[in-house]
């Protein structure tokens, strides 16, 4: 009796193998279905297709700033005065959270043009110019203060205002993106 | 749900149904559920919150029939179509928008009642945790609902909150892009928030069912915090508490109606009457009142990731409270020392709420310049929020665990019905009374 039971009992190694294969197939199947369901949340192809933008700088007077939309994000184009540039250069070696020289934030020969993503690096609000103690921007949301080079000087933001990719097509025309 | 059923089917049809789908038995047991006889009006917020959830779901489903979840159409569909053109649209939208605030008024009082009377303590930890989950789901739902009118505050609130998640190293940026569905908050964001705003209330309803189930297993706590010991300690839920809850809901509806019909814009922000503009942030951006204390904690910390973690931590405190408070006595009615610290904690949360509504460098005492400490003048909102935030955390992490070990509570009554029948104005003050173990 005992002998026949042993003979009919399933081989444990074979049973374990079936469990493992079934579980692996289930996990793989769920993962294969889950990925499309998650990835559909990422930007769609038509959203990503919003590429570059050309802007005529002659419309921006000395000391003026325009905010334009590039890929639905606000971008500052600031025509800086010599005083603003001097203040930014003078602070190049001051103590900063995210140290950068003013020259590294503009293109050579076009130091008067500061082109920045106008989103505070803290939580994405658009900072306002000519406020805060460094003569640059103040973010109205949580009080981050940037200088005339868009570098973070005070407040909760961790980084300087980001620079988009751009090239000067001529002295008065810039291509962003 | 709790204990053996007391239902007896009386007719042939009831007996027939009872062996197939015992739904009458289920309802009869719910109505007959034995409830402590001494529950005060602070216990009516469960009923009030159920009422709020029903109001939000009914008005929300109606609003969805008239709303257009597109960047170009959302603002007009709310401010013009629903508010002016749809029959009674102004009232239904008013009920829904005011209803969100009313929901939070009720949930905050419900949570404070739970803390004061120790309703989170064993054996009700799971009940408490489910309540915390509902609260988090409510905040997520309210936030996404606030985005839908696509005004300036909607848009910039969405931007700030989604950027919060970007603070996490490595995965932050991926999560934000996944939420936005683009380079920034835009049409895809509005669409998915609308979809999720419609879904989450039903998730809340499901968790509420679990919350009620978890309530019916150990039974209600009560103002004395003493366990139910005999039938003399309880009354049937119906008619005693159905009537009491209905009366409280009636009073609550009066407050609700005052806001809907006389102060419809009192809880909103004027900036939200301006259509969303991705190029201009409003000069002074603040969340709705019910999120202000957390917003103040976020702003108080001059580091992005730490600020986000502190915000999350301030909510996480509620989840771990059952394991922080080691006091044997549930109700603060018998914990005079704990009560004082608890009331100071409520004040600290209110101060944080006020700070959250102010500019970070606003002065507390006008015209007084104090010394600058680290980054701000000590006479500013930023420093006041720091002090209040420190107390907020110290209350949970240091004061609560220490009090559980060190304080001397007042004597606790032997049973629920003893103080009900004798009605002492105050429990007798016995010097150095030992905490009485609960059976």
Q: Is A157 part of the contact surface with chain B (CB cutoff 8 Å)?
A: yes
Task: Characterise B316 by phi-psi region: left (phi > 0), alpha (psi -120 to 50), beta (else).
Answer: alpha
Residue among B216, B435, B214, B217 nearest B330 (CA): B435
* Alpha-carbon gap: B264 to the closest alpha carbon of chain A (Å): 26
Segment A70-76 shows an average pLDDT of 89
Are B7 and B222 spatial neighbours (Cβ–Cβ below 8 Å)?
Answer: no
Partners of A155 on chain B (C-beta within 8 Å) are 302, 375
* B90 C-beta neighbours (distance < 10 Å), count: 15
Domain presence at residue B52 = yes
* One domain for residues B290 and B278: no
Structure tokens at B186: 């835009």
Among A47, A69, A156, the residue with its CB nearest the CB of B307 is A156
Question: Are A140 and B186 within 8 A, CB to CB?
Answer: no
User: pLDDT tens across A35-69, in order?
Assistant: 999 999 999 988 888 778 899 999 899 999 999 99
Q: Tell me the pLDDT of chain A averaged across its residues.
A: 88
* One domain for residues B143 and B246: yes
User: pLDDT tens across A128-148, in order?
Assistant: 988 878 889 998 888 889 999
Domain presence at residue B327 = yes
**Is the predicted pLDDT of residue A93 greater than 70, yes or no?**
yes
* Alpha-carbon gap: A157 to the closest alpha carbon of chain B (Å): 6
Are A139 and A151 spatial neighbours (Cβ–Cβ below 8 Å)?
Answer: no
What is the model's pLDDT at position B140?
96
Residue among A75, A95, A83 nearest A154 (CA): A95
Domain end, chosen from B232, B249, B282, is at B282
The domain spanning residue B357 has which CATH number? 1.10.287.980
pLDDT band at A1 (very low <50, low <70, confident <90, very high): very low
Partners of B179 on chain A (C-beta within 8 Å) are 41
Q: Is A66 part of the contact surface with chain B (CB cutoff 8 Å)?
A: no
Residue among B135, B122, B124, B130 nearest B211 (CA): B130
* One domain for residues B278 and B292: no
| A/B interface, count of CB pairs below 8 Å | 95
* One domain for residues B138 and B244: yes
By CA distance, what is A153's nearest residue in B? B375
How far is it, in rounded angstroms, from Cα B355 to Cα B300? 9
* One domain for residues B247 and B327: no
Among A42, A122, A123, the residue with its CB nearest the CB of B181 is A42
What is the model's pLDDT at position A49?
81
Give the DSSP per-residue string, A126-172: PPEES-STTEEEE-TTT--EEETT--EEESS--SPPPPPPEEEEETT
Q: What is the dihedral of CA B405, B410, B415, B421, to 10 degrees?
A: -160
Give the DSSP per-residue string, B238-262: IIIIHHHHHHHHHHHHHHHHHHHHH
Q: Is A58 part of the contact surface with chain B (CB cutoff 8 Å)?
A: no
CATH top-level class of A48-176 = mainly beta
Q: Is A29 part of the contact surface with chain B (CB cutoff 8 Å)?
A: no
Q: Catalytic residue numbers of A? A: 142
Structure tokens at B297: 């904690």
Angle at which helices B304-324 and B381-394 cross, to 10°: 30
Whole-Å CA distances, B28 to B8, B36, B50, B187: 9, 18, 19, 49
Domain presence at residue B83 = yes
* One domain for residues B197 and B341: no
Partners of A71 on chain B (C-beta within 8 Å) are 183-184
Structurally, how many domains does chain B consist of? 2
Q: What is the dihedral of CA A142, A146, A150, A151, to 10 degrees?
A: -100
* One domain for residues B110 and B165: yes
* One domain for residues B56 and B103: yes
* One domain for residues B164 and B262: yes
How far is it, in rounded angstroms, from Cα B251 to Cα B244? 11
Q: For residue B309, what are the domain limits?
A: 286-410
* One domain for residues B278 and B290: no
What is the model's pLDDT at position A131?
81
Domain presence at residue B360 = yes
Q: Is A37 part of the contact surface with chain B (CB cutoff 8 Å)?
A: no
Domains of chain A: which residue ranges? 2-39, 48-176
* One domain for residues B189 and B297: no
Q: Is B298 part of the contact surface with chain A (CB cutoff 8 Å)?
A: yes
Domain presence at residue B70 = yes
What is the model's pLDDT at position B437?
43
* One domain for residues B140 and B21: yes
Q: Is B183 part of the contact surface with chain A (CB cutoff 8 Å)?
A: yes
How far is it, in rounded angstroms, from Cα B430 to Cα B410? 7
Question: Are A41 and B192 within 8 A, CB to CB?
Answer: yes
- In this prediction the pTM is 0.89
Domain presence at residue B297 = yes
Residues (pLDDT < 70) of chain B are 1-3, 420-439
Question: Are A141 and B156 within 8 A, CB to CB?
Answer: yes
What is the model's pLDDT at position B430?
46
* Alpha-carbon gap: B166 to the closest alpha carbon of chain A (Å): 8
* Alpha-carbon gap: A17 to the closest alpha carbon of chain B (Å): 36
The domain spanning residue B83 has which CATH number? 1.20.810.10
Question: Are B299 and A126 within 8 A, CB to CB?
Answer: no
Partners of B188 on chain A (C-beta within 8 Å) are 43-44, 47
Structure tokens at B377: 């003048």
Name the 3-class secondary structure at B386: helix
Q: Is A95 part of the contact surface with chain B (CB cutoff 8 Å)?
A: no
What is the model's pLDDT at position A140?
83
Q: Is B179 part of the contact surface with chain A (CB cutoff 8 Å)?
A: yes
Residue among B150, B223, B155 nearest B184 (CA): B155
What is the model's pLDDT at position B274?
94
Name the 3-class secondary structure at A52: coil
Are B25 and B5 spatial neighbours (Cβ–Cβ below 8 Å)?
Answer: yes
Instruction: Please identify which residue in the block is written with the tokens 């905050």.
Output: B108
Partners of B302 on chain A (C-beta within 8 Å) are 155-156
Domain presence at residue B225 = yes
Are A80 and A114 spatial neighbours (Cβ–Cβ below 8 Å)?
Answer: yes
């Amino acid at each position: 009796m005992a002998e026949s039971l042993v003979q009919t009992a399933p081989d444990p190694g074979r049973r374990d193998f079936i469990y493992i294969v079934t579980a692996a197939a289930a996990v793989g199947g769920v993962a294969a279905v889950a990925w499309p369901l998650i990835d559909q949340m990422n930007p769609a192809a038509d959203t990503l297709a919003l590429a570059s933008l050309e802007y005529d700088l002659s419309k921006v007077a000395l000391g003026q700033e325009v905010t334009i939309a590039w890929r639905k994000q606000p971008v500052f184009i600031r025509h800086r005065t010599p005083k603003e540039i001097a203040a930014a250069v003078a602070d190049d070696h001051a103590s900063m959270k995210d140290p950068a020289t003013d020259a590294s934030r503009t293109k050579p020969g076009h130091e008067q043009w500061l082109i920045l993503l106008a989103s505070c690096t803290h939580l994405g609000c658009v900072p306002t110019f000519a406020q805060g103690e460094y003569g640059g921007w103040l973010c109205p949301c949580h009080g981050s203060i940037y200088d005339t080079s868009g570098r973070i000087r005070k407040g909760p933001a961790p980084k300087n205002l980001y620079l988009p990719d751009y090239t000067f097509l001529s002295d008065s025309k810039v291509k962003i993106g | 749900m709790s204990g053996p059923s007391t239902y007896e089917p009386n007719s042939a049809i009831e007996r027939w149904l009872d062996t197939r789908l015992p739904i009458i038995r289920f309802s009869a047991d719910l109505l007959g559920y034995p409830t402590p006889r001494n529950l005060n009006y602070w216990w009516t917020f469960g009923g009030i919150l159920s009422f709020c959830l029903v109001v939000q779901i009914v008005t929300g489903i109606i609003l969805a029939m008239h709303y257009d979840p597109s960047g170009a159409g959302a603002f007009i569909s709310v401010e013009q179509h629903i508010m002016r053109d749809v029959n009674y649209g102004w009232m239904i939208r008013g009920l829904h928008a005011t209803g969100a605030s009313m929901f939070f008024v009720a949930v905050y009082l419900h949570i404070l009642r739970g803390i004061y009377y120790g309703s989170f303590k064993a054996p009700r930890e799971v009940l408490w945790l489910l309540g915390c989950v509902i609260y988090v789901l409510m905040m997520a739902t309210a936030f996404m609902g606030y985005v839908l009118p696509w005004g300036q505050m909607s848009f910039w609130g969405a931007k700030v909150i989604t950027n919060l998640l970007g603070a996490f190293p490595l995965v932050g940026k991926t999560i934000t892009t996944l939420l936005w569905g683009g380079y920034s908050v835009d049409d895809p964001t509005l669409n998915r928030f609308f979809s999720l705003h419609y879904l989450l209330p039903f998730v809340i309803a499901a968790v509420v069912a679990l919350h009620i189930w978890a309530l019916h297993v150990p039974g209600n706590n009560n103002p004395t915090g003493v366990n139910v010991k005999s039938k003399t300690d309880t009354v049937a839920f119906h008619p005693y508490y159905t009537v009491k809850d209905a009366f409280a809901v009636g009073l609550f509806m009066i407050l609700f109606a005052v806001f809907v019909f006389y102060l419809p814009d009192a809880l909103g922000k004027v900036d939200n009457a301006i259509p969303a503009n991705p190029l201009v942030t409003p000069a002074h951006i603040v969340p709705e009142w019910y999120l202000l204390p957390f917003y103040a904690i976020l702003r108080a910390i001059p580091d992005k990731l730490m600020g986000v973690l502190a915000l999350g931590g301030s909510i996480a405190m509620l989840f771990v409270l059952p394991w922080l408070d080691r006091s044997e006595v549930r109700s603060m009615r018998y914990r005079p020392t704990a009560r004082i610290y608890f009331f100071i904690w409520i004040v600290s949360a209110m101060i944080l709420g006020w700070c959250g509504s102010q500019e970070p460098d606003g002065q507390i005492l006008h015209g007084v310049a104090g010394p600058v400490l680290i980054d701000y003048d000590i006479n500013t909102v930023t420093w006041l929020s720091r002090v209040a935030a420190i107390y907020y955390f110290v209350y949970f992490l240091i004061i609560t665990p220490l009090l559980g070990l060190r304080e001397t509570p007042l004597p606790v009554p032997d049973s629920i019905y003893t103080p009900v029948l004798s009605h002492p104005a105050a429990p007798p003050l016995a010097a150095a009374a030992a905490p009485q173990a609960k059976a």
